Structure 1
Amino acid sequence: MKPRLERILWINANYSFLWLLLISAPIRTFACTEGEVCSESSATICKNNTCTSVCTMKGMLECQCDTEEDNYCYLCCGNEHSQCLPAHEHNILRANGERWEREACARCRTNGAELEGLPCDDNDPARLCLAGKCSNSVCVNKLPGAFCDRKMEKICVEEQCENPCARFAPHLMVCDCSSIDQDTGFASEDRCQLCCYDFNLKPANRRCQNAYRKYRIMDKKQRPIFRVGIDCAGGKTCNRFGVCASCSLKLSTILIGLIMLRIWNRN
């Protein structure tokens, strides 16, 4: 019995000793390697055993660039003495000399000709490759309701390039309603508004129908989505009020201004 007790005491003593060694040993920290990249995605580099933005290489901080595409595509750096610009414009580059740029933007920049008008980011379908830039501002210079992608499946709705028909169901596609109402033979009011058809139906059975009346698809102001600038009956054009008119309000304003100026000069 005695040897067994001694053995138990010996084991306990050894475990206690090991436990004391463990708790008294200093905690080992895993520091980064000076000058090496910590994370490609967050554009951080090891400096003084801490992962920090690569902007600090030039004594700068991360900032928001003025251009939307730059903010999205590049790391931007600046400080009180230097303008906020993409990092490469401050000569802040990767170790291999490449820019700190999103992969989606790099693809668009290098393969712009073949990707023109196509989605450039799998995580953001609103962004299209336009003139070598992965941009979501395609609608800034387009009329409301104008097509904004190469496949002519999306239109500009409140400055966003989208397929608004898909809000109701993913198989609904944008289409142009007829200029003439087939039932009445007169100009169709639907021509200047968003129309959709069901892609799942056979082509012979597809009907282009008014999206507001049929599916209650509307803009943020609860109004029909207008197709400004497209041709309508009688050689007219759809204006920003969704009306088929002989000229736009902007052109009318110019003409009125010219007439008033002429009257003023006569007097």
Structure 2
Amino acid sequence: MSFLIIGEYRGIIAVMIVLFFGTNIPVYSQIPEGSGEQSPAAAESAKDVQVKEAMPPADGPVMKIERLDNESQVYSFELKDAQIRDIFRVLAYDYKLNLLVDSEVEGKITATMTNISLEQFLEAVAESLNLIIEKNGSFIKVKPNLITKTFILMYIEARTVLSSVESTENAETIKRENTIYDLLSAKGKVFLGQQPNSIMVIDYPPNINKVEGYLKEVDHKMSSRIFKLKYLKASDIAGIENNTQTDSVSSSGGNSADTGG
């Protein structure tokens, strides 16, 4: 009997349920499943997130190389703290260049260039990082621009110039300041030359020029001149160390004579 009553009032119960719960139905439940539609605000937000994830960190290195025109073969370069070896690797792989890069080539470059050829770019990089670009047929060889130069000294000893340390009274060693070694690059080297009293330097051209200027300043003839003093004693200017030692010896000898008497 109870089943029959529920059956008779089934429609009324259904209407009451809809009226009671209808206002609390979530909006997303009214969207058919699998429709794939997304609100404009949500789509824009997702796009912003993707753009931010694709952008490199502000403080990180940047290396963007783009070909502007296939016919004229011009490019644009946007570089920030980019490793030169990575740049050469991209050029060789993406733009089919046959590059032979020496293992000693290293350094970073920051530059913005546009509408230039690859040859112009390589020349600018070579000048900036002291490199040599050599072309041999279809190959391009890149290596450090290290040169060797020998300097012959006229007035000072070469060994003295190459001595970077000096002894102290306590048998300790301290490094001299402003020596020839301070003018060399990380790749620079200096040796005694094969010629008498000569120095051989291997380094980049700018550092070779610094060494040459330094040697011109230190390698000069010492001049001497005699001054006749009118009012002062020579010992007051040059020091009285010798006189003091002489007096000490004389005093010691005098005491011995008195003791013997």
Higher alpha-carbon Rg: 2
Task: For CA contacts below 8 A with separation 6 or more, give which structure has more relative contact order.
Answer: 2
In terms of fraction of residues, the more helix-rich structure is 2
- TM (norm. structure 2) is 0.25
- TM (norm. structure 1) is 0.24
